[in-house]
Structure 1
Amino acid sequence: MKIKNILPLLLFLTSFSFFAQNGKIDEKREKIKAFKVSFLTTELELTSTEAEKFWPIYNAYDDKQFDLKHLKMKTYIRKLNDDNINNLSEKDAVTLLSQIESTDKELYVLREKYMASLKKILSAKKILKLKKSEDDFNRKLLQQYRDKAGKD
């Protein structure tokens, strides 16, 4: 996995564990999602026609990606803590590795379909701007989390 792929996963897992501690995961996720929509809307400067086509595609992709990471990766992460890794048989380790690779492939295929859909409605320049804006949003969210954690 490249570092670019690991950062969003770490951000997700970190923010997920933080929100789980508060017991309001869905509420927090919805707030983040609303903040992200606002942020991306401002950054992308979509026309009304682009926005009408973009948001359903983006939301479907975002939800599916969340489900894959949340439902599957969460299970893997629990198995990957130091105690569990040391107690895994080689056969179980091979199985777990295969499951992780399968989920990575699902995420990759999902991303390919998403990009193909975006290319039909947005210019290459706006797609690049979207990627940059998502990265900026993730950094901003991580910084807010760090700032809040530092105050506690």
Structure 2
Amino acid sequence: MKIKNILALLLFLVTFSFYAQNDKTDEKREKIKAFKVSFLTTELELTPTEAEKFWPIYNAYDDKQYELRHDKMKTYLKKLDDDNINSISEKEATTLLSQIECTDKELYLLREKFMTNIKKVLPAKKILKLKKSEDDFNRKLLKQYRDKAGK
């Protein structure tokens, strides 16, 4: 498996560990979002004009991505519990796999649309910086999560 696939899987799992804790989920999400905005703002060095156009596009993308991962994938994860996975039929497994694939495709198309829109706002170099900064942010968030869990 490629390293970025592993990183995406880890981010996916970390994201759901936050979602699984229903109490304070919104509060945690808002804290993470504020931390991410601050981090990306610093890393991207956006001009005021770029920032004005970038943030509405990015926030819409981020919210939709959250919705897909939270609403749909959370349902799938419940069904993938060890007890459930051993008791579902092959037909149910096939249906669940198909649903997961559809959601993955939706996430891909969302990312593709985001890239198309963001290319109209930011130069290619800053888009690459954005990708790197998002990866750095996710690693930093994962490290904080691990550090907190280890205490």
Normalising by the smaller structure, the TM-score range is over 0.9
- Once the two structures are superposed, residues 54-85 of structure 1 have per-residue CA deviations (whole angstroms, 9 ceiling, x without a partner) of 00000000000000000000000110122111
Q: Is the 8 A contact 2:11 2:142 kept in 1?
A: no
What residue number does 1:15 align with? 18
What residue number does 1:86 align with? 86
RMSD: 1.3
The residue correspondences of 1:2-151 to structure 2 (distance < 5 A) are 2-17=5-20, 20=21, 23-151=23-151
Q: Is the 8 A contact 2:54 2:118 kept in 1?
A: yes
* Consecutive unaligned residues in structure 1, runs of 5 or more: none
What TM-score does the superposition give when structure 1 sets the normalisation length? 0.92
- Higher helix proportion, which one? 1
* Consecutive unaligned residues in structure 2, runs of 5 or more: none
- CA offset at residue 128 of structure 1? 0.8
- CA offset at residue 6 of structure 1? 1.2
Quote the Cα distance in structure 1 between the aligned partners of 2:124 and 2:10. 24
Q: What is the aligned-residue identity percentage? A: 74
Quote the Cα distance in structure 1 between the aligned partners of 2:148 and 2:7. 24
- Once the two structures are superposed, residues 82-136 of structure 1 have per-residue CA deviations (whole angstroms, 9 ceiling, x without a partner) of 2111111111111111100110111111010000001111111111100111111
